[in-house]
Amino acid sequence: MAAHVDPLVVGRVIGDVVDMFVPTMPVSVRFGTKDLTNGCEIKPSLAAAAPMVQIAGRLGDLFTLVMTDPDAPSPSEPTMKEWLHWLVVNIPGGSDPSQGQEVVPYMAPQPPLGIHRYVLVVYQQKARVAAPAQGPGPDAAMRARFSTRAFAGRHDLGLPVAAMYFNAQREPANRRRR
């Protein structure tokens, strides 16, 4: 009988982005009509808009959602890892990120080279997080080299309660001529 291996371990999310943890909160993620499963492939064009994320939990609970790319700019040389794609704090339990405070606006996957992992991590907050008036915007220097672990440490978030990841690679350009 084969032993179960956690897909977050196989995909090196545990290790590269977060420490070992036991998921304790159901979270569903969907791009359009496609439900996300760990390690699935999503075309960047399908992920142009922020995913629908549903976080379980009680109404009084608060959550933080972080989305990063640990493979930026290329999986073989991730010199800008983690690239911050989305950061939302103070999300009420039983709701979605639109009910929280968006600190960093969603940025769609744009993998320049190779297959990139895009990681969504959910933390249960111990208290309300004081969100800055405006987080990193389109400025690459503000999104590059983000550390999910360091952010969680600064805000006393502890270990994640859930995480998921998907893979994406650059879509070929339309080569048809008219």
Give pLDDT, residue 178.
46
Q: Is residue 1 included in any domain, yes or no?
A: no
Give pLDDT, residue 64.
97
Q: Is residue 77 included in any domain, yes or no?
A: yes
Give pLDDT, residue 174.
65
Rounded mean pLDDT, 36-58: 95
Give pLDDT, residue 77.
94
Answer whether 122's CB lies under 8 Å from 61's CB: no
Q: Is residue 176 included in any domain, yes or no?
A: no
Kindly state the DSSP code that residue 74 receives in the 8-state scheme. B
Report the CATH number that the domain containing residue 86 is assigned in CATH. Answer: 3.90.280.10
Answer whether 108's CB lies under 8 Å from 116's CB: no
Q: Which residue has the higher pLDDT, 135 or 9?
A: 9
- Tens of pLDDT along 92-121? 999 999 999 999 999 999 999 999 999 999
Q: Is residue 177 included in any domain, yes or no?
A: no
Give pTM, 2 decimals: 0.91
Residue 20 clears pLDDT 70, i.e. is over it: yes
What is the count of structural domains for the chain? 1
Q: Is residue 106 included in any domain, yes or no?
A: yes
Q: Is residue 2 included in any domain, yes or no?
A: no
**Cis ω on the peptide bond leading into residue 160 (within 30° of 0)?**
no
Range of the domain at 51: 7-169
Rounded mean pLDDT, 14-27: 94
